[in-house]
Structures are given as C-alpha cells and as structure tokens.
Amino acid sequence: MTTNEKPLKIIILGGGIAGLTTALALTKFAPQDAVPEIQIFEIRPVPATIGGAVNLTPNALRMLDHLGVFDVIRARDYGKDIDELEVFDIHSTKLAASDFAGPEGRGIGNPPFKALRITRGDSLKAVLEVVQRQANVTLTCGKRTVEIREAEDDVTIRFEDGETCTADILMGCDGIHSVTRLKHVDPERKETYTGVCNAFGFAKIPKDFQVHFKCTALNFSQRGIMLTSYHDSKMESVYVGALMVVPDIGTGRDGWKQVGADAEKTRADILRRFGDARIPSIRPLIEMAENFYMWPVYTLSKDGRWSTNRCMLLGDAAHAMPPQGESTGIVFEDTVIFSRCLTRWMEKGMPGGTPKEAFDAYEKLRKPRIAAAFDESRAVISSVSESGWLGHTLKTWIVPWYLWYTRRNREKHFNEDVTRVELNY
C-alpha cells in the first residue's frame, strides 16, 4: 500500500473525452485507501458536445464497460450497434466488409462486444454523467491556461484570469493543440495539417428511404471517402462524413470555422466529389444532410516527448494521427494503461519522489502500439487522395485484399483488454 498520508493531487487539462476518461480511470484503478483528488479544467465555457459520429470498436467498449460508462450508453439508448463495416465503390458495388459480430453473432472478445456508432456528443455526455458521480473529481470550465511551472515537488498552472492551481501531477489531455505540450512538455512539436478535411452532417431520413448499407459503410470515390452510417438505434438519422483533400486555408482555426460555417458551399463540394455515384442513396443523403461542418485533420510527428518528471500527455496531445478506425478506442486504452502504471507506483510506495518511473513504464508499454497505429493511419491519407480512373481501379482492388490481410491483426485488437496487460515493473 502507499506510504503517503495525503492523497495525490492531480490536475487534468482538457474536459473532453480524453480528460474525462482519464479522471474515471485514475479513480477506478487507484488503491482504495489512496484515491486521488482530481481537478479538471476545460477552456470552453461548457464541455463541447458537437462533432461527428465515431465507431467504438469492441476493445473500446470493453474499456467503457470497465469505467462504468457503457451502462449509461445503454440506459440512454445512445448509438447504433454495428455488426459489420461495409465497403463500397460508389461507381459500382460492394467491395468487402469488416466483421464485428464474431462467429456466434454476439460480438468479439470476453465479454463479447460488437462495435457502436455514436456521436461524439452522446459519448461525451455518457462519460460526463459518470464523472459527475465521483466525489473526488471536480470539473471547472472557462479556464484558459497561460503558464505552467514545474518544480521538484509539484507543478503549478496559472490561468488567464490570474488564478493558479498546484498539484502533484499535471495530465495534458487537451488535444492536438495542447497547451500542456506547447507551453511545457515539448514546445517544438507542433501540429501540422494533413491536407485532409472531414466535412460532416446528419441526414434525417423518411421511413421508406432505402439506404445501401445495413448499419455503416465506407464509400470510395476517385475524390475521397464518404462514411454513411446510422448512429441511432431507431435508424432515423444517417451520419454523412466526407474525408477529402482540401488545401490549407492558412488562417488558423478561426479561418476553418468560417469555412465550415458555409454549409451550402461545403455541400456543393461534397456533391462534386460524390454526387455522380451509381449507388442511388448517396446523392439524396448528401442533399438531406443538415449543417455541414468542416473538421481539418491535424497530426503530430511520429516521435516526440510525452512527459517530464510531473507532467504527462495522453491522447491527441501526445500522438494525434489521422483517423484509422480505432482512434477513440486508443485514447480509452491510454487512460486505463496509464492509470494502472500510476497505481503500481503508488502501491510501491512512490519511489523516486516523482511519478517519472510510472511515466516511463507507461511509455515503454504504449509507444510501440501507437507507432503501429500511426503507420496504419498513413494508409488513410493515401486512400483519400484524389486519383484517376486507373488509380481508383487499383484502390478498389487493394481494399478487399488489405482487409483480408489485416483481419487477424484487427481481431487481435478487438479481443484486447488492457486491464489485464502485464505491466512488468
């Protein structure tokens, strides 16, 4: 057990999915007599519940089950269960499928889970509901961090309003544009625009409208990839998200907001790229979708610093990459593995005086997995690139082969439960 009489004080910067699940994992896996005091600070006035729809793979849902969130998702009827991801060429037919139902149709792993397509807003609301039940966790919104000072015994952050907060550990869960990384942990490691943007909206469909997929589909064209998917159990709405090459407008995040505000211009661009589909439902789905948003995809370099003696980066703040099918699940696994490493350090009596031993153990476990996921994500960028007839034909031949070739590796990840992974330290 721990030798420290007072509980650890932990600051988490970022009140999004990464920050909230980190708070839950740190609470769940802490020694029963040493649950940390956790303060979460979010820059926005309220936690952001806007965003597209993400696919939570079986391993991601398994982590949410451990954290008590999956029960809330079910109770609130959030999301749509996904048996398989279908892949189409918009100019011809179905190419392939990736299975989540498993051999018995109940899911993959132990316990078995299928996939779940859920909006980012609903997933955040579910996590937030569980966080609000934790007596050791507080969430404060509207706080912009302007300075981070790390000393031998603690770390202090100063906010724009002049207030400060001091703790034993600072967790940077503040996303791709992380203040924790840019002001302290690795200031030279800046985000870069991939050249790819996700333009998305939601189409409310009539009861008699016939879609071309069972639950969710990737639709390849010569000018990008479009995701069409149910995201509600009643199947009354379809998420329409187009990954496509878009030049950098070069005016920062405010510029992207302005571009995204022009929904009809965005719709016209999507129709130009996908509107000639031979699959009958694709063009009407684009036309019915409401409030298209532009979401530029940023990435970080593959290698970089994740920690100091008392500060640790998690999620996109450490390793943002293009979407590759498991991005959200990777964040959940980050939080659980890190929390287990920190707990082990606490149970050992906190040797060394700082949590650096726990940080190093986490990075040793996690960096190989992240490096592999990063390499996989590069394939997404190349598949989005615009191509001629021959290039598109080759792509439609390669995709089924690639899904077949990588099936075992995907199923291995879907079966994973990182609460059981040996820490070896």
Q: Which pLDDT does position 3 carry in this prediction?
A: 45
- Residue whose pair of structure tokens reads 């379809």 in the numeric block: 238
Strands (E) located in 174-281: 192-204, 216-221, 224-230, 237-245
Q: Which of 359, 332, 425 lies closest to 171 in space, CA to CA?
A: 359
Rounded to 10 degrees, the C-alpha dihedral 324/325/327/333 comes to: -130
CA within 13 Å, CB half, 40: 29
DSSP assignment string, 274-336: HTT-SSTTHHHHHHH-EEEEEEEEEE--SS---B-SSEEE-THHHH-----S-HHHHHHHHHH
* 414 CA to centre of own chain: 16
Query: For residue 108, what are the CA distances in angstroms to 59, 136, 157, 235, 326?
Result: 9, 34, 43, 23, 15
- Mean pLDDT to the nearest integer, 103-130: 95
> What percent of the chain has pLDDT above 70?
95
Q: Does residue 2 surpass a pLDDT of 50?
A: no
418 backbone φψ class: left, alpha, beta (φ>0; ψ -120 to 50): alpha
Across 9-18, 249-258, 322-331, 359-368, least confident range: 249-258
Per the CB < 8 A criterion, the answer to whether 227 and 241 are in contact is: yes
pLDDT of residue 106: 94
| Residue type present at position 175 | G
Residue 374: strand, helix, or coil: helix
> Is pLDDT larger for residue 259 or for residue 83?
83
Q: Say whether pLDDT at 102 is over 50.
A: yes
Cα distance between residue 307 and residue 315, in whole Å:
13
Both tokens assigned to 407: 């099936």
What average pLDDT does range 211-215 have in this prediction? 96
Categorize the per-residue pLDDT at 325 as very low, low, confident or very high, splitting at 50, 70 and 90.
low
* pLDDT value for 391: 83
Q: Dump pLDDT digits (tens) for 389-411.
A: 888 888 888 888 888 888 888 88
Q: Check: CB of residue 174 under 8 Å from CB of residue 314.
A: no
**The one-letter amino acid at 300:** L
Q: Tokens at residue 298, please? A: 């940023």
* Contact between residue 124 and residue 48 where contact means Cβ atoms under 8 Å apart: yes
**Average of per-residue pLDDT across 57-77:** 97
Burial 82-109 (b: 16+ CB within 10 A, else e): bbbbbbbbbbeeebbbbbbbbeeeebbb
CA distance 108 to 236: 27
Q: What is the mean pLDDT of the chain?
A: 91
C-alpha span between 279 and 88 (Å, rounded): 9
- Per-residue pLDDT, 27: 97
Residue 86 has pLDDT above 70, yes or no: yes
Tens-digit pLDDT profile for residues 13-38:
999 999 999 999 999 999 988 999 99
pLDDT at 163 > cutoff 90: yes
Closest CA to 282 of 207, 208, 205: 205
pLDDT value of residue 89: 95
Q: Tell me the pLDDT band of 255, cut-offs 50, 70 and 90.
A: very low
Residue closest to 127 by CA, chosen among 57, 31, 49? 49
**Per-residue confidence (pLDDT) for residue 1, from 0 to 100:** 42
pLDDT of residue 250: 62
Q: What is the mean pLDDT of residues 31-50?
A: 91
DSSP 8-state symbol, 113: B
* Cα–Cα distance measured from residue 12 to residue 143, given in angstroms and rounded to the nearest whole number: 12
Q: What is the pLDDT of residues 138-147, one digit of tens each?
A: 999 999 999 9
Hey, what are 35's tokens?
């649950």
Is the CB of residue 23 less than 8 Å from the CB of residue 12? yes
